[in-house]
Structure 1
Amino acid sequence: MALETQLRQRRPYHGAHLVTRLVGPATIGALVVAFALLWLLARPVGDAGQFIGQLIGAEGVLLLSVGLVLISTLRWVEQFFDGVDKAAVWHRRVAMAGTALIGVHIASTGNPNPTQLGPTLGTIGIVGLATLTVWAIAPRWRSITPRPARPLVERFMAAPPIRFVGRWIGRYGLWRGFHRLTGIFLGLGFVHGLMDATVFGSQLLRWSYVAVGGVGLAFYLYRELLARRVARTHDYEVSSVEPIDDASYEIWLRPLGDRFDFRPGQFALVNLEARDRWHRHPFTIASGPQEKEVRITVRALGDFTSSIGDLVAPGMPAVISSPQGHFDFTRGTEHQVWVAGGIGVSPMLSWLRSVRPGELPHRVDFFYTARGPAPLADEVAHLVGHHEELHLHLVDTETDPRLTVEQVLATVGAEPRLLSAFLCGPEQMVSTLQRGLVRAGVGPANVHREFYNLR
């Protein structure tokens, strides 16, 4: 009981962080409900089936418009959703839901007297949106496939023609270029609704529809036409490219003008000129803010990152955009658990390169797991040696079992409700540990992670 009292006195529970996490999603839910109630209250006399079908379509337009707001890159949107990474996750969710609703609308609703152009615009819009949605979730097919069906799907995905197509459409740059058409496809569907909806004898319904669609398209135009002009960027050049292991690299960037300011643990959107063309990716920052050069770590996962050692060389230019993310250990309690998987140790390196002895919480148990020797274990051990509060636990999954919540809690030996956890690494590992820690009693507000895959 004495330890519990001491920890509560040293650092309060961060309930405000949970509120921040919930405000954005709750706002989306409130908008959907309020929009449906408005339509129901203003419902004109007529065919109930037609009305419900068009309400479903209008809700789809609302959700897709919200999705465009979420990827507008505006700072207040990031703060409202507790980070651009969370905003990107909710963008993907509302886009999938909105596309599904519009599909239901098309399958269940028809206009006996359609305009000549309206149906064509609607068809192009839904085909485009559906294609982009499938393309976005395709890399996550394992996580969305029911476990009993996975062996069959794996055999299908391993077929040479499917692998060839997968390599082609799996290119991040190609997907990102086509993803920018989302607003155009939404615009086509939006115009189709204005032309062919049968419920717009009610001016309230018409203008509510115009409002939700117009807001989304306005944010889309801002992102495509203005965001790059108002975004703050910093010019750098590559000073070195070094392999960390067989599947990851570290890149050092030196400033050519004003230095890039960031908080330890953040990531940044970096435009790198390579031998073939410019590439734009989010990269974790492993250096400290006080260091002159910026150090980013790269895991060889995609078409560009897998060839980065051949494509990027010292002297090549780079442009760094504003820092992103809220992965910050100072938001936690006085007893913390840090878990890093492989190259996911990068934000922890940034923390350790920035903090002075005595500035860490009362106790930190740092679990660093990798298959084989951890790629940056020597550097981590050296930095850990400067902090008495920090206890390093190395887990080699080639010889040891995979890290589990039970193992973490047994090692820590503290009440789960007093802990904060900061997780970074492979998505499956992080998601499994996140769910397990919450089930074990760690407060949801005290389990922190970042979603580094913004696709």
Structure 2
Amino acid sequence: MKSIKGILFIILIMSSSALLWYFATPIESIQAVNRLSHIIGGMAITGFFLVFLLATRMKFFERWFHGLENVYFYHKYLAILSLVLVVIHGQLQGLVPHWDKVQRTSLSEFAKELGSLGQYGFIALILIALLAKFLKYEHWRIFHRLLLIPYTFGIYHAYFSSRYDLLQPTPLGIFTAITATIGFMSALYMLTMYQDMFFKYNGNITGIKKIGPNVIELEITLDKTIPYRHGQFIFIKILQDGIEKAPHPFSISGGDGKKVFVSIKALGDFTKKVYDSVQLNTPVALDGPYGHLNFEKGTQQQVWIAGGIGITPFLSYLQSQPVDRDIELFYTYHGQDNAIYKEFLQEYAKTNQQFKVNFIDTTQMDRLSFENFSVQAHTTIFMCGPEKMVKRFAKQFKSYNRDINVDFEAFKFK
């Protein structure tokens, strides 16, 4: 599914910024390179406004971009684009003729210095954020949130070092005031209020079951019912000493809303710590639900594809009711130890004629591929697994099949 509404929203905001800066009247006439530098600098500030706004995880953004993983995708590349614009702005300012530079006051000189500091801050922090796979998640989150500091410097620089009077109620002044305020408040909200306002579902871990050498199933009993749809996921904070308290996303693998189950695979520092040391009655806090997989809205003919722990959103649906449509599941995993819930799926297939399951153990068989794989017209494909896997399969399906819908959730969130 395409993120049409989200893409149009980004294009609208960024193009509005460019046009408003282009048609704005400077305090006094300026040279063409200087004008271009201001336009690009203004677009950079607008880009970072969007970066902070998308980080709030507002539910309508998930709908507009068709999935939280797509929100994060555009969040990441908007940050890179904005950084490039900041660097270009600085380089163009170096090309402005001396005679066209504004007469410096102590205020404008200070704003210029803050602008330079903001540029270096953006470069350093975004480069660190791009190296996320080498950092612990909690450390990555800290560096990520420090972007508020260079953003604040950049706003101050725009207001007090610009050749345009942004304090006047002109279209550019109003646009800059609105976007700067929303961007700053979005960043501040993520720093201070997000943990209290969004994690409104509280409960305790009332059951622990190790279902493999590296997978654990947690039963969570909540104080109030969380209204979720089968196939969705939640962010969980596990409030136990010795376990990182940062929220992490996990698919709901079953439950009734008052009680939910999540299956966690020990892949990184956090999940390994949970697998090794999580205890009964540990308090937890939940945010969500998120996710756009909707099996009920799929066609009568469906193909499901799960990679490893990506089987969990499908389990939520299968355990809730007998299937009433024709479903073929392809479950790929690396080694029998990673084939969680295999017995359940085998038994389910025996008792439900409309459900068929294929097990693909990549230690014994060739890697799953859907090249030259045709499906019936008007089939819905649902996938959950590692990002590279589901995107590769989506491309393969669309190359050989036209009248199908492909929907997926990917694991990558940084």
TM-score (norm 2): 0.88
Which amino acid is 1:309 matched to? Answer: Y
For 1:314, what is the secondary structure of its paired residue? coil
Q: 1:367 aligns with which of 322, 330, 338?
A: 330
Taking structure 1 as reference, are residues 357 and 325 closer, same or farther at Cα in structure 2, changes over 3 Å only? closer
Displacement after TM superposition at 1:43 (Å):
5.0
Counterparts of 1:268 and 1:108, CA distance in 2: 45
Q: Superposition pairs for residues 274-423 of structure 1, below 5 Å?
A: 274-277=240-243, 278-289=245-256, 293-358=259-324, 361=325, 363-373=326-336, 374-406=339-371, 409=373, 413-415=375-377, 418-423=378-383
Choose 74-83 or 310-319, whichever is displaced more. Answer: 74-83
Is the 1:241–1:309 Cα contact (8 Å) retained in structure 2?
no
Matched-pair contact (CA < 8 Å) for 1:420–1:442: no
Matched, 1:63 2:47: yes
Which residue in the other structure is 2:401 paired with? 441
Runs of 5+ consecutive residues of structure 1 not aligned to the other structure: 1-16, 141-165
Quote the offset at 1:184 in angstroms. 2.9
Deviation at 1:376, TM superposition (A): 2.3
Match of 1:429 in 2: 389
How far apart in 1 are the matches of 2:196 and 2:281? 25
Q: Which amino acid aligns with 2:125?
A: L
Number of the residue aligned with 2:7: 25
Q: After TM superposition, give the deviation of residue 228 of structure 1 in Å.
A: 4.0
Q: Is the 8 A contact 2:21 2:42 kept in 1?
A: no
Q: Which residue of 2 aligns with 1:120?
A: 113
Per the alignment, do residues 272 and 212 of structure 1 end up closer, same or farther by CA in structure 2, a change over 3 Å counting? Answer: same
Give the CA deviation at 1:36: 1.5
User: Residue 396 of structure 2 aligns to which amino acid in structure 1?
Assistant: G
CA contact (8 A) 1:353 1:383 kept: no
1:450 aligns with 2:412: no
- The residue that corresponds to 2:76 in the other structure is 92
Superposition RMSD on alpha carbons, in Å?
2.4
Shift of 1:23: 0.7
8 Å Cα contact 1:244-1:375 kept in structure 2:
yes
Question: Which of residues 136, 141, 161 is equivalent to 2:129?
Answer: 136
Aligned residues with identical type, % of pairs: 25
Question: 1: distance between equivalents of 2:83 and 2:350?
Answer: 52
Q: Which of 227, 232, 245 lines up with 1:266 in the alignment?
A: 232
Give the 3 Å change call, closer, same or farther, for CA 302–208 of structure 1 in structure 2.
same
d(CA) in 1 for partners of 2:93, 2:209: 58
- Opposite residue 180 of structure 1, the aligned amino acid is R
Check if 1:49 corresponds to 2:14: no
| Runs of 5+ unmatched residues, structure 2 | none
The alpha-carbon distance between structure 1 residues 320 and 205, as it changes in their structure 2 partners (threshold 3 A), is: closer
Partner in structure 1 of residue 202 of structure 2: 235
Following superposition, the deviation at residue 204 of structure 1 comes to 4.2
1:37 corresponds to which of 13, 19, 23: 19
Q: 2:42 aligned with 1:75, yes or no? A: no
Contact 1:266-1:347 within 8 A present in 2 as well: yes
Find the aligned partners of 2:54 and 2:200 in 1 and give their Cα distance.
21
- Please give the per-residue CA displacement for 1:200-225, whole angstroms capped at 9, x wherever unaligned: 48854444333322221132233334
Deviates more, 1:429-438 or 1:342-351: 429-438
Distance 1:262 1:37, change over 3 A: same
Once the two structures are superposed, what CA deviation does each residue of 1:12-66 show, in whole Å capped at 9, x if it has no partner? Answer: xxxxx65xx3111111112222322222223543211111112111111111101
Alignment of 1:132-171 (within 5 A): 132-139=125-132, 166=134, 170-171=135-136
Asked if 1 retains the 8 angstrom alpha-carbon contact of 2:253 and 2:262, the reply is yes
Measured after TM superposition, the shift of residue 238 of structure 1 is: 1.6
User: Contact 1:172/1:302 (CA < 8 Å) preserved in 2?
Assistant: no
Instruction: Please give the alpha-carbon distance, in whole angstroms, between the structure 2 residues aligned to 1:208 and 1:53.
Output: 18
Query: 1:393 deviation in Å?
Result: 1.0
**Gap change, CA 1:320 and 1:96, over 3 Å in 2:** same
Q: Contact 2:385–2:411 (CA<8 Å) still a contact in 1? A: no
Per the alignment, do residues 24 and 386 of structure 1 end up closer, same or farther by CA in structure 2, a change over 3 Å counting? farther
Q: Report the Cα distance in structure 2 between the residues aligned to 1:78 and 1:414, rounded to whole angstroms.
A: 30
Letter of the 2:206 counterpart: S
SS at match of 2:247: strand
1:251 aligns with 2:222: no
Q: Which amino acid aligns with 2:379?
A: L
CA distance in 1, matches of 2:115, 2:388: 37
Kindly tell me: are residues 229 and 399 of structure 1, through their superposed partners in 2, closer, same or farther at Cα, counting changes over 3 Å? closer
State whether residues 118 and 191 of structure 1, in contact with CA within 8 Å, keep that contact through their aligned partners in structure 2.
yes
Q: 1:383 to 1:107 in 2, by over 3 A?
A: farther
Instruction: Tell me how far apart the structure 1 counterparts of residues 185 and 192 of structure 2 sit (CA, whole Å).
Output: 10
User: Which one-letter code corresponds to 1:52 in the other structure?
Assistant: L
Aligned length: 398
* 1:213 corresponding residue in structure 2: 180
Contact 1:237 1:254 in 2 (8 A): yes
How far the C-alpha of 1:365 sits from its partner, in A, is 1.5
For residues 159 and 92 of structure 2, the distance between their equivalents in structure 1, rounded to whole angstroms, comes to 18
Q: Secondary structure at the match of 1:336?
A: strand
Taking structure 1 as the reference length, the TM-score comes to 0.80
The residue type equivalent to 1:27 in the other structure is F
8 Å contact from structure 1 (residues 83, 325) kept in 2: yes
Which SS does the other structure have where 1:40 is aligned? helix
Deviates more, 1:96-105 or 1:301-310: 301-310
In the TM superposition, what whole-angstrom CA distance separates every residue of 1:227-271 from its partner, at most 9, and x where no partner exists? 44433522221223333333332222223x223331111111111
Q: Which structure shows the bigger proportion of residues in helix conformation?
A: 1
Residue identity in the other structure for 1:37: L
